[in-house]
Amino acid sequence: MKKVPGVESIKVSLSEGMAHIQLAPGNTVSLEQLRKAVNEQGFTPKEATVVVSGNLVLNGKQTVFKVSGSSDIYEIDPTRAAKMKDKNAVTLKGLVTLPAVNGKPGHFEVKEIVES
């Protein structure tokens, strides 16, 4: 995992079945890259709690969240999207419950809109 560009440190708890991955500020590593690295270590990645910056964009008729510096896009709750419509860029803390696959957006459960 430390070979993945942008990874600063990793703490693994086998008893909890969790890995805490600290990324360098301004990194451009995608969640998919991290999931792939976890798979290569013999583990199955599940949901991920993340803090990410990006923008709301229109994807067809749906507003989605596009992570800055990557091609990752995530569906978010329309009520949360409405609260962020007036912001050019936003930082969110939340849970990625479903990763993006084959160009289809993943799902991001927003827990907090981080004020900057």
Which ranges constitute the DSSP H helices of 1-116? 31-40, 78-84
Sign of CA dihedral 73, 33, 46, 51: negative
pLDDT of residue 93: 93
pLDDT of residue 116: 58
**pLDDT class for 9, splitting at 50, 70, 90?**
very high
Record the pTM. 0.76
**pLDDT class for 78, splitting at 50, 70, 90?**
confident
Question: Residue 105 in 3-state DSSP?
Answer: coil
Average pLDDT over residues 105-109: 85
